[in-house]
Structure 1
Amino acid sequence: MPGTPPRRRPLNRPTAIVATAVLLAAGLTACSGQSASTTPGTAASSAPAGVSTSAAAGSAGATGSAGSAALPIIAESEFQTRATALCTANAEAVRGTFMAMSKPPTPEQMQQAFDTLVAESYKISDDLAALGAPAERQAALAAVIQANDRITASVQAAGPDAFFGDQGDAYAELYPLMERLQVPACLPQES
């Protein structure tokens, strides 16, 4: 913020942030939609900034209140294998950025980590929407995508200062929804 003095944090705060981000990365930033328009190399950049293609599709019924899901129906074994790979890659992308921050992190590192978190959160929603789920978990997947996109939009709108200054976990409400998918790699993992 203009005119605001540099943030002062206890030395353990960046470590707590990294721990939260790693948990989040292993969970569902280990499960989110399209990346922000400011992030190069991301899919579906025609959506407005901060709105994933899966979130936009959600208003047409793919992820929620309108009823019939437009998600592909796939076999359980394919879902487990591919969802595990998606969540693992997503978690590693986020974790790597957060773990690369110095102690204490620079404002640039914090911005880069925040941008990666937001982009990967949107990307995983799009990836999971394209993947689909077994018929019995279609509603669970739609709920995960919808919640993840809503939370990510809120996190993005609040910005990095709010994210790094918050003592809570912005994505905590997503974890019970993720459990319904029954993909262990998409759940938060202690590191």
Structure 2
Amino acid sequence: MAERVRRIAEVPAVPPSPPDAADLLHQVARGDEQAFEGLYDLVSGPVYGLVRRIVRDPAQSEEVTQEVMLELWRTAARYVPERGSAMTWVMTLAHRRAVDRVRSAQAATDREDRAHRRETTREFDEVAEVVSTRLEHEQVRRCLSTLTNLQRESVELAYYRGLTYREVSELLGTPLGTIKTRLRDGLIRMRDCLGVAR
């Protein structure tokens, strides 16, 4: 008998099985802080791994993991075993949080891009542009009418038909120096009429 007792005493004790996530969640739902420590040890590694694959940034992944763990502490009572395993529920929360973080970061980037584009580009107002162009054309026509016929003819050939001074001189049969003088005087009068600063 003593031999039998000795053999039983020598049988190594079976180590307790690791706590189940579902059991830990139920205990956490009752406010058990020790159970939360066990739950943290059990799920924080897989949660971080999943979050890191989605978020990519290590610092943000740590933040999201902490947010998930805090959410587990607050919402453990919402876990319903009939809907799936505790680990699946935890990883679903982690996935949602990670995706929310990515969306939030993308939305912030999009807002910054839109703000930057608004600051750097003025919206094009086609009607205002057409009106402005017509007014400028009218003012140029009015100022051209103040030139002498010889000045106007030289300006129109040089600036509206794109001829060189030499070509204007040859076309009109007038010395090049005279054409240059007409153009210079005509442009000075145009500048003064248009109100262009010197």
- TM-score w.r.t. the length of structure 1 is 0.23
Larger Rg: 2
- Looking at both structures, which has the greater relative contact order when contacts are Cα pairs under 8 Å and sequence separation is at least 6? 1
